[in-house]
């Protein structure tokens, strides 16, 4: 639509004027949703990965953070949960598997973009417990413990208790 302004009855006066168009770009800076940054994904066990982030760039107060996961780098990410803190534990995962994550902030203005990435984490390998564990009395002050070697094990922790069978 064409807009027109008619100025009349003006003589001997220098007129300087301009026409300005104002448009809203989604609010002022105080309402900026922003983006999550400092994302890490670390294995917690054979079936869980801890996803955390150090902050977000927006000025709007967050109400929650959404966490998305995919089994491959690209493609569609599925929302696996949300958190009101800066961390999330993803559970029920397969052992020795890499998962990729994206995280977004949610404010009263809506959901921000997913953090650049994605960020990957790999669950730990499932290792079977030692088989054929035996204990033999060595002397009055020693016990000899033996077991079959476990493939993939990088070390063994041996626990004992003197008085409490639940150690």
Q: Find the CATH number of the domain harbouring 48.
A: 2.60.40.10
CA distances from 61 to 39, 53, 64, 116 (A): 19, 16, 9, 20
Residue 11: predicted pLDDT: 52
Residue 39: predicted pLDDT: 96
When divided into structural domains, the chain yields a total of: 1
Predicted confidence band of residue 163 (pLDDT cuts 50, 70, 90):
confident
Please indicate, yes or no, if residue 91 is contained in any of the structural domains: yes
Give me the domain span that covers residue 107: 29-122
Please indicate, yes or no, if residue 3 is contained in any of the structural domains: no
Task: Supply the DSSP symbol for 95.
Answer: T
Query: How far apart, in whole angstroms, are the C-alpha atoms of residue 109 and residue 32?
Result: 8
Residue 12: predicted pLDDT: 53
Return the number of other C-beta atoms located less than 10 Å from residue 129's C-beta.
8
Please indicate, yes or no, if residue 108 is contained in any of the structural domains: yes
Please indicate, yes or no, if residue 95 is contained in any of the structural domains: yes
Predicted confidence band of residue 7 (pLDDT cuts 50, 70, 90):
very low
For 100-138, the pLDDT digits (tens) are: 999 999 999 999 998 878 999 999 887 778 889 998 888
Longest Cα–Cα distance in the chain: 120
On the 0-12 / 13-18 / 19+ scale of CB atoms within 10 A, 109 is middle
Check residues 50 and 160 and name the one with the higher pLDDT: 50
Helices (H) and strands (E) in the chain, counts: 0, 12
Structure-block tokens of residue 76: 């569609």
Please indicate, yes or no, if residue 80 is contained in any of the structural domains: yes
Please indicate, yes or no, if residue 139 is contained in any of the structural domains: no
What three-state secondary structure class fits 30?
helix
Whether a cis peptide bond, with omega within 30° of 0, leads into 118 is yes
| Phi, psi at 166, each rounded to 5° | -95, 0
Given a contact cutoff of 8 angstroms between Cβ atoms, the answer to whether 58 and 28 are in contact is: no
Please indicate, yes or no, if residue 63 is contained in any of the structural domains: yes
pTM of the entire predicted model? 0.62
Please indicate, yes or no, if residue 75 is contained in any of the structural domains: yes
Structure-block tokens of residue 18: 């301009």
H or E, element range at 66:
strand 62-70
């Amino acid at each position: 639509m064409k807009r027109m302004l008619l100025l009349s009855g003006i003589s001997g006066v220098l007129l300087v004027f301009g026409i300005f168009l104002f448009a809203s770009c989604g609010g002022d800076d105080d309402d900026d949703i922003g983006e999550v940054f400092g994302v890490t994904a670390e294995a917690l066990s054979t079936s869980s990965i801890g996803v955390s982030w150090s902050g977000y760039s927006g000025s709007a107060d967050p109400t929650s953070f959404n966490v998305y996961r995919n089994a491959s780098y690209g493609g569609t990410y599925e929302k696996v949960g949300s958190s009101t803190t800066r961390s999330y534990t993803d559970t029920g995962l397969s052992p020795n598997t890499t998962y990729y994550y994206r995280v977004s902030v949610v404010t009263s203005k809506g959901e921000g973009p997913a953090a650049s990435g994605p960020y990957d984490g790999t669950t730990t390998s499932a290792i079977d417990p030692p088989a054929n564990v035996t204990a033999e009395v060595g002397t009055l002050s020693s016990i000899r413990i033996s077991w079959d070697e476990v493939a993939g094990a990088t070390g063994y922790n041996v626990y004992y208790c003197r008085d409490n069978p639940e150690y």
